[in-house]
Structure 1
Amino acid sequence: MSGRTHDVVVYGATGFVGRLVAEYLAGHAPAGTRIALAGRSRARLEAVRAELPQSARDWPLLVADATDQSALEELAASTTVVATTVGPYLRYGLPLALACARQGTHYADLTGEVLFVRKVIDACDSLARSTGARIVTACGYDSVPSDLGVHLLHQRARHDAAGALLDTTLHARAKGGLSGGTIDSSRAQLEAVEADRKALKVLFDPYALSPDRAAEPDLGRQRDVTTVFEDAETGDWVGPFVMAQFNSRIVRRSNALLCHAYGRRFRYREVNAYGRGWRGRRRALLQSAALGLALRAMADRRTRSLVDRLAPSPGDGPSEQARRSGWFSMRLRSTTETGGRYVATVSAQGDPGYAATAVMFGESALSLALDGDRLPRAAGVLTPATAMGDALVERLRARGFTLTVEELPTS
């Protein structure tokens, strides 16, 4: 992409997460990386830039509204990568993804919206493959840990000649806050379902993001976990994981894009882990009940206004202290065709949805812009594992993330 003015454009830099990403890039992008900030208000962009370290004070500012297609096309044509934090993506994201696909510009976002990714696949995949653009969704806590964790399991099993992956379960633990943007994204999907009930079929299809639904194996009903139970292998009490519905579809898309390299009998699910004994059981029951009540309140028009009053507003998020004290740890257990047993660990310090996501997203953008031949040879609508793979793994390890795989005894 020689001749482009910028390497990375952060679109939505005046939002809560956008500012965090800009701060991260100002502190960690290699010297000489050409970064610009973009949004719909020059005054607000100037205010954000003024608060960044001195190294970012001369970053260009680009004004483009999410509804102005010509401005988005011009923005996309100016850069190697657009990293967008402007959500809910279901409302605002598709025009920018289309502009990047047309211009042959790499694109990264932080969506956790199944319906949006399905729209992007349908509208952009063929076009992006023709222009060489990598349109990469879910480059934050949704769904980098899940996607790279399974990627590492597959690599280790292949290295050990242990056969394809079979049943694989992610056990999630985390401490973090909630932002108004996350709530607004959930609201956007609910509104889409209310406008078209057919969207429910997409949301509940385990292969909703497959490039070829008819080519997927028939492994029975792969439902997301909805109940609390004691995990027989770990002894932990586990329950529903709020991100499982989205992450699992991304991981299955990776498998399909890799021609089912993980395995034709690969089954994947995610759970939230609460610990052992009666304390773990109590936490699992209480927190799973609270999650269920919150989701029901969001889904019901009669109680949604109450959630709106109690939840953070769009643009708000956890305090700096909360972001620093947060953490996440995901352990992915898998068996293979030969009876091998492996566990991958993906963990990091920092609020998972904000501090850690700023690292994952910033490094994803830098990888797409700077890693060149180190990236997998791929184009179209991709996942973190299929677009960046080992290059992103190495970048995150260099920033203090734990990404490991160990073999377990076969008992």
Structure 2
Amino acid sequence: MTDSARELDLVVYGATGFVGKLLADYLAQHAPDGVRIALAGRTAAKLEAVRSALGPRAAQWPLIVANSDDAASLAALAGRTRVVATTVGPYAKYGHALAAACAEAGTDYVDLTGEVLFARESIDANHDRARETGARIVHSCGFDSIPSDLGVHVLHEKVREDGAGELTDTTLVVTSVRGGVSGGTIDSLRTQVDVSKKNPASRHLAASPYSLSPDRSKEPDLGKQSDMSVVNGEDIAPGLKGWKAPFFMGPYNTRVVRRSNALRDWAYGREFKYREVMNVGSSPITPVIAGAVAAGLGGMIVGMALPPTRYILDRVLPSPGDGPSEEAQRKGHFTIDVYTTTTTGARYTSRVKAKGDPGYRATAVMLGESALSLVLGGDALPDSAGVLTPATALGDVLVTRLRDAGFEISARKL
């Protein structure tokens, strides 16, 4: 979207929610002078309270009242701005109308969804129209799924630069992480479980490794690609110690990365096979720990589907709108390493590392810089439109902005 004649450059929708406030605060501190920002949500008084807490740089930001069930208000919002950044989830409940309004208006859009079914429905509903209007509809611009998508992106770029072939077996390892699971993430899981229970076809779609691909019939047959595997580190890369457990966000992130490959006409490689796991240590009992983590993840999903255990889980898991203290957010961090073997037999690795609770503070940085990439990236952005991924919509522009914001994003040959 390049229409500088619009009144605004960026609207934060959901600015009164927990993550919305973090995003608004980040932009108030870090958005360059001259970027025209507004705050949007359901209640004017709450928006005013948020704005008043942001300091003098935000004092003149306009406030926009818009509701997720009022299509006219969302259409008006989308028509006033070049970019919308929304934190209002679960997106399957509250996101469809806004994504559609942005696609129709030719307005760029970023969100934080980690919901396979919502993303698939948005692709089917909005991709063609967004291509016609020039809109970039970019889902998953937080911890889901920027570290995954950009980690593979820079890995591919380094391999291509070295002329070392294409990517084959590729594994993301969450090497270290400190931070809580957000209430919004849990509520998204609840919503997806509920939809899958009502519609077996949706359950089958969500389980497909290529559920977000542009054309699943054109994807290569690479055999089983499990999201719940326990993996020996030595099978990932020589010298990588310990057994690895499934990463709980892998079932979504892997599908985003595969969509990036397909949208790029399989530039990563037709033999590109991708999975995500997490480190659980290197002691002699790590195989047991990794297996227990895998069983626990599967058990939580089953528990969400069964009324008695759902009742208990709903009372012990975080609620939407809840979040950690400022101190806990500050102490959080994550380090993610991606390992690959290329078609020439070379081995490469990439790293994405940042300070701040990954689901909150670091996510606010990732979403904020994604939105600013669209506002300020201009001709440096990939020449693409439609329902895209962070790598295919933002690419090196976002990599540079996140590095400037303190992230480590690197790739090297092993």
What TM-score do you get using the length of structure 1 for normalisation?
Answer: 0.97
Report the CA distance between 1:321 and its aligned residue.
1.1
Give the 3-state SS of the residue equivalent to 2:153 in structure 1: helix
CA distance in 1, matches of 2:216, 2:294: 31
- Indicate the SS of the match to 2:244: strand
Confirm or deny that 1:128 pairs with 2:130: yes
Match of 1:107 in 2: 109
Asked whether the 8 Å contact 1:80–1:105 carries over to 2, the reply is: yes
Select the residue among 220, 224, 229 that pairs with 1:221.
Answer: 224
Deviations 1:326-355 (A, max 9, x none): 111110000111111100000101100111
* Two-structure CA RMSD over aligned residues (Å): 1.3
Q: Is the 8 A contact 1:42 1:63 kept in 2?
A: yes
1:127-206 pair list within 5 angstroms: 127-172=129-174, 173-206=176-209
- CA drift of 1:284 comes to 3.0
Equivalent position amino acid for 2:273 in 1: R
Aligned to 2:349: 343
Q: Which runs of 5+ in 2 are unaligned?
A: none
The residue aligned with 1:309 is: 315
Structure 2 counterparts to residues 23-62 of structure 1, below 5 A = 23-62=25-64
Contact map agreement 2:197 2:305 (CA 8 A) in 1:
no
Contact 1:343 1:407 in 2 (8 A): yes
CA contact (8 A) 2:339 2:347 kept: yes
CA contact under 8 A between 1:143 and 1:247: conserved in structure 2? yes
Matches within 5 A, 1:319-330: 319-330=325-336
Tell me the SS of whatever aligns to 2:200: coil
Match of 2:281 in 1: 275
Question: Is residue 113–residue 189 contact of structure 1 (8 Å, CA) maintained in 2?
Answer: yes
**1:369 shift after superposition:** 1.0
Letter in 2 for 1:90: A
Q: What is the identity, as a one-letter code, of the residue corresponding to 1:213? A: R
Q: Paired residues, what number?
A: 408
Taking the aligned partners of 2:203 and 2:229, their CA distance within structure 1 comes to: 17
CA distance in 2, matches of 1:18, 1:258: 32
C-alpha deviation, 1:388, in angstroms? 0.5
The CA distance in 1 between the partners of 2:73 and 2:304, in whole Å, is 35
| CA distance in 2 between partners of 1:320 and 1:290 (Å) | 29
Tell me the CA shift for residue 226 of structure 1. 3.5
SS in 2 for 1:278: coil
Whichever residue aligns with residue 248 of structure 2, its letter is: V
CA contact (8 A) 1:228 1:285 kept: no
Asked if residue 392 in structure 1 is aligned to residue 398 in structure 2, the reply is yes
| Counterpart secondary structure, 1:284 | helix
Instruction: Give the C-alpha shift of residue 282 in structure 1.
Output: 5.5
Aligned counterpart, 1:371: 377
Deviation (angstroms), 1:101: 0.3
Offset at residue 295 of structure 1 (A): 2.7
* Separation in 1, partners of 2:231, 2:48: 49
Cα displacement (A) at 1:281: 4.2
- Deviations 1:157-189, CA, capped at 9 Å, x for gaps: 111111111000000131111222111111110
Q: Which deviates further from its counterpart, 372-381 or 308-317?
A: 308-317
* 1:86-110 Cα distance to aligned partner (Å, 9 max, x none): 0000111010000000000000000
Find the aligned partners of 2:86 and 2:251 in 1 and give their Cα distance: 22
> C-alpha deviations, 1:114-150, integer Å up to 9, x for none?
0000000000000000000000000000000000011
- Look up the equivalent residue of 1:126 and give its one-letter code: D
Instruction: Give the secondary structure class of the aligned counterpart of 1:33.
Output: coil
Three-state SS of the structure 2 residue aligned to 1:155 is helix
Residues 93 and 227 of structure 1, relative CA distance in 2, 3 Å threshold: same
What is the distance in 2 between the residues matched to 1:284 and 1:363?
34
Cα distance between partner residues in 2 of 1:286 and 1:167: 25
Q: Report the equivalent of 1:406.
A: 412
Gaps of 5+ in 1: none
Structure 2 counterpart SS, 1:10? strand
Task: Report % sequence identity.
Answer: 56
How far apart, in 1, do the equivalents of 2:245 and 2:328 lie? 25
Is residue 230–residue 243 contact of structure 2 (8 Å, CA) maintained in 1?
no
Please identify, of 301-310 and 59-68, the stretch whose mean Cα deviation from structure 2 is larger: 301-310
Match of 1:6 in 2: 8
Counterpart in the other structure of 1:211:
214
**C-alpha deviation, 1:26, in angstroms:** 0.4
Q: TM-score, normalised by structure 2?
A: 0.96
Instruction: Tell me whether 177-186 or 17-26 shows the greater mean CA deviation.
Output: 177-186
Q: Secondary structure at the match of 2:83?
A: strand
> Displacement of 1:3 after TM fit?
1.5
Q: What SS does the aligned partner of 1:338 have?
A: coil
Q: Select between 304-313 and 388-397 the one with higher mean Cα deviation.
A: 304-313
